Structure 1
Amino acid sequence: MACGRIADHGFLADGRSAVLVDSSGSVNWWCPARFDAPSAFARLLDDDAGHWVIRPEGGFSTSRAYLTDTLVLRTVFTTATGSVALIDALALEPGARGHEVGLHSPRLLARVVRGLSGEVRLRLHYRPRFEYGRMVPLLERRDGALVASAASARLDLRSTVPLACEVGEASASFTVRAGETCHFTLGYAPAYDAGPPAVLDAQQVIDDAAAGWRSWMGLHDYRGRYREQVRRSALVMQGMTYRPSGAVVAAPTMSLPEELGGERNYDYRYAWVRDFSFSLEALWRVACTDELNLHVGWLTRSMGMNDGIVPIMYGVEGERDLTEHHLEHLAGFAGSRPVLVGNDAWRQRQNDVHGEPLSAAWLMREYLDPMPPDLRQLLRAMTERAARDWHLPDAGMWEARDAERHYVSSKVQCWTALDRAVRFGSHLGSEADVARWAAARDAVREAVLTQGWSDRLTAYTGAFDSDELDASVLLMPLVGFLPAGDPRMRSTIRVIEERLSHDGLLRRWAGDPAGFLICSFWLVSCLALAGERVRAGQLFERLAARANDLGLFSEQIDPYSGEALGNFPQAFSHIGLINAAGDLTDLDAGRHDVPPAPDRLIPAGQDGPRPTTAR
């Protein structure tokens, strides 16, 4: 049975890796060592690349939901003869609560089948395939488990129902009646220099995971608009955090296509500096500031100091070389090839990278006083680079792979770097430094205002002296470069919405195959800041309704078919939802922390005010 739709999947996490399981009970994705490690199940990308399914043998209907405030998934199968619940969870360290959740994962997947009514005949099919489907493991019974081993990986499957083994796979057929339960656990361990996989009771794993996630949620309350959607998105973001380092991956998957059958199929299992900045804003909005040091520590250790182009993305433990290569043996999701591991965007010059750390640090300044020396050094270096390199062309935030251009959003983020450095004043530099940064900031601003504007389109465009629209310029009011009510900015918002939007979904540029969700949420914030708050709220609700039945967003959505596209779930999309909801909440309350427009800038060398919050 081939893998179904992208949006048909649920998401489980344990602070190191993620599982995607579909509504028919099939585990179709798991890289158990860590997010960006080779897979054990990769049916998402090829029907022969590994899966583990538990489902009724005949026809059935499905309903599912997460247990409240958790990443524990409950799927109910209803058949002509009865109904059962399948409960899935990745194990957390036993007893881990609050900020300890996810720090020490046992790396074990638990599944429990519970009879609800009548009786249901079920089928289990277990087919692990290591190294992205390349390796068929040896299966042998050992110490009460069915052990699968190949290359450097080992999986131990424990089951309360008998399993029939064949070469590289196992199966079972069993009946569950009302009140009965069947337990399954699948533990991972590296083959060398480690003990065997953890042995834990499946029901205990599920109960402990539920308690752990709820304890984390209890520390991060949000009382603004759209509370349930925001809290779900915050939990998803936490699930995409590699807890040992603090890195937030863009998505737990790779090579899910932006267009079915297309070639833009990239590996997103890494951490982008751009996402870091937006993530910190989202975490700030949902009161996750206690984890700031963990996230900032990852940033400073990963970026460090170097003389070349600043990498814009890293592995979850700060790796820089993410060289891309094809997995030619995989068919790809819905035949979408190439299937890529690694991401060559790490080689690109993207000048917006200078602004994002400074923007995040300014937002969180109340919690960075005194500023750690390594962070101060990094922010100074990014400021100097922005002052030096802002005039250079780059690949832009959409990571164009053809030619470098003078992208407006990259220039705006260089302005952001310089602007925030000026606001930090003596915290970052001397009076002479701040004066020099202010002069560079003003030069960037003048260049954007003159060369980024198209009289023909009556809008700011994607690149200097261009007539091509790009939704990334909606960042201009969000970072305080221009007020949303400025006549030219208001015209830009209107033109972008008219020409790039369809059914509430905003494309990045003309010809983009689908609506890009974070851009659509930026439009919500821009409309609200421009005074159109009712329409902004209506658009937010239309976008929020595009999530799947579990509240999960992909990167893009086809505005005609409604099909989810791109890697899944996508941190950018959930970040966009949180920040747009926060903007609407702040505006309703008469407050907003976007820096004032440039005619009200803080004089060079003076420190700025402390932030307000939306909580």
Structure 2
Amino acid sequence: MTEMKAESVAQSAAAPSPFTPIAEYAFLSNCHTGALVAPDGSIGWLCVPRFDAPSVFGTLLDRGGGFFRLGPFGLNFPAARHYEPGTNTLLTTWQAPGGWIVVRDALTMGPRRVEDTVTPHTRPPTDDDAEHVLVRTVQCIEGSVEIELVCEPVLDYGRTPGEWSLVGTDRHTADVTGAGQTLRLRSDMALGVEANTVRARHVLEGGEELFCALSWAQDLEGPEDVAAANAQLDATTRFWRSWLSRARMPDHEFRGPIRRSALAIKGLTFMPTGATVAALTTSLPETPGGQRNWDYRYTWIRDSTFTLQALHWMNLDWEADEYMQFIGDLDRNEDGSLQIMYGIDGRRDLTESTRDDLTGYAGARPVRVGNGAFDQRQNDVYGAALDSILLHTRRSQRLPRRLWPIVESQAECARKVWREPDQGIWEARGAPQNYVSSKLMCWVAMDRAAKLGRMRGDDERAADWAGIADEIKADILEHGVDSRGVLRQHYDTDALDASTLLAALFGFLPGDDERMRATVLAIAEELTDAGFVLRYRTGETDDGMSGKEGTFVICSFWLVSALSIIGERQRARDLMERLLRIASPLGLYAEEFDADTGRHLGNFPQAFSHLALIEAAARIILADRLAEIT
């Protein structure tokens, strides 16, 4: 008999798995750290005390990585989940055999009372700040329901099971210690310690309410009873709504997605320094079961211009200024250049390691801590920094003295390196190339530097920088355009790359330029999967990795913006509507979308995706408003 060989089949994003689909998680934040809550009520990801700290709960990346569940005993699927409007506070409604309950979850915020020694501030503290407590309440709204609490932290990314000890004699408080940390759990349920787990069960009758709270605050402070727990949750609701009330929210059909995106971006902001993490998580796969798994809990300079643009467009000028001050504080390389990314505290060394003891999300390995791309040479960084400074300067009507040296150094760096190959915007780990998007961003650097120079009154230097911008533009148009008049990925290929859409977004070519139009339409028609945009075709690009990847959400929103710019208003709106329909049940976006399965892929929630949504919505709204007066 002939032996049949089994064919190797790529893992599907929808394969049966004990891992919760990425888009099913809810996001909580106190602007110091964040948590992900699975539909069954389990906290599956929480790093304390800050975004980039080791995880305390990590079933997101390993089913034995620790979790914290509060919900009805024996049930895993709730009746409904939603955020309290205008907040990052989660409400989960359950229908149990005996009745109905509502669980309320938040990482709480409240009036600042003392100096924060847990995550000290380098920026001026605001009136409200993180309390470093996860507060959860359950209210029985009908009948009676048996409630279960299970808290099983495994600290240091799943390496160290917590050691529990009851505090006092009433069984309502327990401390867990491990990996140099101590956290305190309080509840009005009687707690029992079982090995490395604390458990509690209680039958809740109609009209009754209970709470639990996990604290890593100074002196492990937290609510002592359900009234105090509700007071902290109410203060958190007031914080989010008060913050959102300062934002400009257009009266438009896209108001809801813009609002949720604004809350997500604020939730990914590290309040002590003003930095924004690219995403809450590490190592969620871009390819199911693959190795395209990165740690995104850091701040990328390339995100800065999109962050500033979104914040200023929403009139959130305080947040924009905080982020700009963070940029101003950053240490630069010996040649004066900024790194492509930094830690949220401004640190430069993000050396990457792997946690080979973890299974990874649905078998996607390795799990990475740190990001080895931090010392890559990516020539787009200069343009991102200077575009940010120009945006901020135009809005604030002043160029702070401390930012001018950055303008000078980044302009000179761009002048020196723009002809050199680099790793490109996507941080390819293959051979350096003359990427068009990198040249484009060097043009942005020189163009913005020239504008800033004129604003400062340095006409001679402005003219010099403008001349370099013209030289870069001519080089791109000579070597970076194929025979069809379409912008290439890099000078030695005719492959398409979604990053060339930035030519439209940054005004490199006007919307009525035939090369710009040809590029946008080629990407729309040839670099898409079921209408959603790929970064590039992995078979045509040496990115140093194996396997395919999903469509990139940010690239699809960029295409919406670019279509608007070239006058394709209906196509822009059609794609925008499709993108809004694929949001997670709670209105959030990961980095990628798998068109074959409808699943989200990559780190979650992704700031870049939400920033691009705001820009795309703004361009459609602008076109709609202009149409009203023509």
1:526 is aligned to 2:550: no
Of 140, 146, 149, the match for 1:124:
149
Pairing 1:495-510 to 2, within 5 Å after superposition: 495-510=522-537
Once residues 409 and 102 of structure 1 are traced to their aligned partners in structure 2, the CA distance between those partners, rounded to angstroms, is 41
2:246 maps to which of 208, 215, 219: 219
1:176 aligns to what? 204
Cα contact 2:78–2:92 (8 A) shared by 1: no
Aligned counterpart in structure 1 of residue 377 of structure 2, from 349, 353, 357: 349
Is contact 1:94-1:205 (8 Å) kept? Answer: no
Residues 262 and 103 of structure 1: CA distance in aligned 2, closer, same or farther (over 3 Å): farther
1:97-130 CA distance string (max 9 Å, x none): xx96696322100000110212222322110111
Structure 2 vs 1, CA of residues 346 and 95 (structure 1 numbering), >3 Å: closer, same or farther?
closer
The alignment status of 1:134 with 2:164, answered yes or no, reads no
* Identity within the alignment, %: 39
| Aligned match of 1:114 | 139
**Could you tell me which residue of structure 2 aligns to residue 246 of structure 1?**
274
- Distance in 2 between the 1:311 and 1:537 partners? 36
RMSD: 1.9
Q: 1:196 aligns with which of 220, 232, 238?
A: 220
What is the CA–CA distance in structure 1 between the aligned matches of 2:457 and 2:341, rounded to whole Å?
27
CA distance in 1, matches of 2:129, 2:141: 34
Name 1:584's counterpart in structure 2.
620
2:609 counterpart residue number: 573
Tell me how far apart the structure 2 counterparts of residues 275 and 198 of structure 1 sit (CA, whole Å).
35
How is 1:456-495 mapped onto 2 (pairs within 5 angstroms)?
458-495=485-522
Paired letter, 1:330:
L
Please say if 1:430 is aligned against 2:430.
Answer: no
Describe the SS at the equivalent of 1:576. Answer: helix
CA contact (8 A) 1:42 1:133 kept: yes
Q: Tell me which moved more, 560-569 or 494-503.
A: 494-503
Q: Report deviation, 1:150.
A: 1.2
Alignment correspondent of 1:264: 292
Whether the aligned pair in 2 keeps the contact of 1:92 and 1:102 (CA below 8 Å) is: no
Structure 2 vs 1, CA of residues 565 and 517 (structure 1 numbering), >3 Å: closer, same or farther?
same
14, 35, 41: which one aligns with 2:57: 41
User: 1:304·1:378 contact (CA, 8 Å) conserved in 2?
Assistant: no
Aligned position for 2:34: 18
Distance 1:421 1:509 in 2: 30
Counterparts of 2:454 and 2:394, CA distance in 1: 16
Flag structure 1 segments of 5+ consecutive residues without an equivalent. 592-615
Q: What residue number does 2:395 align with? A: 367
Q: Which runs of 5+ in 2 are unaligned?
A: 1-16, 114-123, 539-547
- Note if contact 2:436-2:500 (Cα within 8 Å) is conserved in structure 1: yes
Of stretches 372-381 and 197-206 in structure 1, the one that deviates more from structure 2 is 197-206
Aligned mate of 1:86, from 103, 108, 111: 103
TM-score under structure 1 length normalisation: 0.92
Alignment-derived partner of residue 608 in structure 1: none
| Pick aligned residue for 2:445 from 385, 401, 417 | 417
Indicate the SS of the match to 1:482: coil
CA distance in 1, matches of 2:508, 2:275: 28
**What SS class does the counterpart of residue 106 from structure 1 fall into?**
strand
Superposed displacement of residue 80, structure 1: 2.8
Q: Equivalent of 1:280, from 299, 305, 308?
A: 308
Shift in Å, 1:352:
0.4
Distance change >3 Å, CA 478–CA 176, structure 1 → 2: same
Give the AA of the match of 2:607: A
Q: Distance in 2 between matches of 1:93 and 1:343?
A: 33
Aligned to 1:401: 429
Alignment partner of 1:9 is 2:25: yes
1:159-200 Cα deviation digits (max 9, x unpaired): 1111221111111222222211111000014xxxx5334446
Corresponding residue of 1:153: 181
Superposition deviation, residue 206 in structure 1: 0.9
Aligned residues: 584
Residue of structure 2 equivalent to 1:294:
322
The equivalent position to 1:386 in structure 2, one of 396, 414, 429, is 414
Change (3 A) 1:235 1:88: same
The residue aligned with 1:441 is 469
CA contact (8 A) 2:176 2:183 kept: yes
Tell me the distance in 2 between the aligned counterparts of 1:61 and 1:154: 32
Alpha-carbon separation, structure 2, partners of 1:70 and 1:477 = 34
TM-score computed with the length of structure 2 as normaliser: 0.90
Counterpart for residue 612 of structure 1 = none
